[in-house]
Structure 1
Amino acid sequence: MDLTQQRLSFYQRDNLTFDVIDSGPLDGKPFVMLHGFPETNEIWRETSEILNSHGYRTYAVNQRGYSLTAQPKKTSDYKSSLLVEDINTLLDIIGQSVYLVGHDWGAIIAWDIARKYPQKIKHLIAISVPHRAAVLRSMLTSNQIIKSYYIWLFQLPLISELLFEEFPKLSESLLRNTGMNAQQILDFRQRMIKEKRIHYAIKWYKALPYELNLKLMGNIKIPALFIWGKYDAAVSKRSVELNHRYMNSQYKEVILDENHWIPVQSYVLLTKHILDTI
């Protein structure tokens, strides 16, 4: 497929169809942008507009469980290895090396892609969540295990689904406490609850025990930019301090006076750091 001649609104892998927001010059150097939990590819609208104005083309993907036509039922269908291959299929369609951007869970998948397919990535930009190994190591020496309480909560059968679907005021209060603003809460209510994505999104967490793979801890061998907000409710400073240990190439770290939701609340500053680095 020659993407310099047409827009890409969706692509397929196996029996799943993933929707994509493709914007910017058709011949622009490509960015692939991965959202996290509990958001969709809509979080990249403003960042994409700025990148597009600088001549870059952007592909913002709704990932497995978030695309309404890519929602397998089994928890094991949300293993990281499958999430990686979903995006690798898009990389093959694009057919040239890309700038890969990920936030939250999207950052985790971006780290994994950079490790497995370094030849397909020009530059990795990970936001809010460090390399898996840095996060796990920090649990032994910091409050990271406490900050990650929700991961253990989401392992309990039906509890997490009930939290979001039956106790919306409580779940939205928890999200608000992480720094989400009023518009983000409204977007969450519409895209995740009313459009019934939340049940599948939680499976990303439930699938973690299915893939305890030491290969996921390997070092990154391509240029990487990591951006973190020092008021992040989910990620400890110690995990950020450890991140450089897992970099074997050019590595830049930016710490902002922000919370976890940098792509939505600080997209101008985020995009400036991206453009200053790549």
Structure 2
Amino acid sequence: MKLISFNLNNEETFGAVKGDEVVNLKPLFKGEANTLKEVLEKDLLAKAGQLAANATATLKFADLELLPVIPEPGKIFCIGLNYDEHVKETNKEKTESPVIFLRVAESQVAHNDSIVLPPESVKLDYEGEIAIVIGKGGRRISEEDSWDHIAGYACYNDGSIRDWQTATSQWIPGKNFWKTGGFGPWMVTADEIEPNQKLTLITRLNGEEMQRATTDMLIHSIPRQIAYISSFLPLNPGDVIVTGTPGGVGAKRNPPVFMKEGDIVEIEVDAVGILRNTIAAEA
């Protein structure tokens, strides 16, 4: 099942994608859940599937004003330096524990929305990644049990303002400029992707392939990430973990390649879909 968040008549709602059409699920829940995050918090994902299966799609996907898959995650954990090639190109070393930084909700945009190039910099870089959305919360989750805590998977572009990221030892400013992180187009529910299934991640800039990797290349696996993060903070339904980017980022190319106004960047995950964003200068 593919689930999305979107605006309809100036109101946030959520739905299930069926081909080119969408079932608006919010009215079918009759107040029991008003957002996709609430569906996860109330353990209603199975009910969403039943309602979607029995309903007729009435909306055109192409006509919708999409939102990030989870518009207001409680926490967005991003894993840095999690592929060997990216570790090498940044002249870093592997770490025994995952490198973690945080993004905030305001730094995200939806599929087909514009990633914003701010006037403070011209060094806007792409980072294709796979995001997991937590469906079942927990503290000190074991690696063995981790798959049961995943609601689904989405594409993510951890857009980075490189000079602000590297200005100090703390990455947060460069990773949280307004509307620089793409999240979408939808969440594919975990029942459609097997635990440990090898997923292929590809980043394209203006049609040219810039990054390619598979999840068996992750230094810290998805179960390891869930176990590690939940050891210091509880994971809650709707939280997001962005699992790391492979080698090939623009800043480490020769010459460097940064995204500019009018560029089109795509993040593809073979079992999920394609996240597409255009770059626009901030007005």
> Normalised by the size of structure 1, how large is the TM-score?
0.29
Higher relative contact order (CA 8 A, sep 6+): 2
> Normalised by the size of structure 2, how large is the TM-score?
0.29
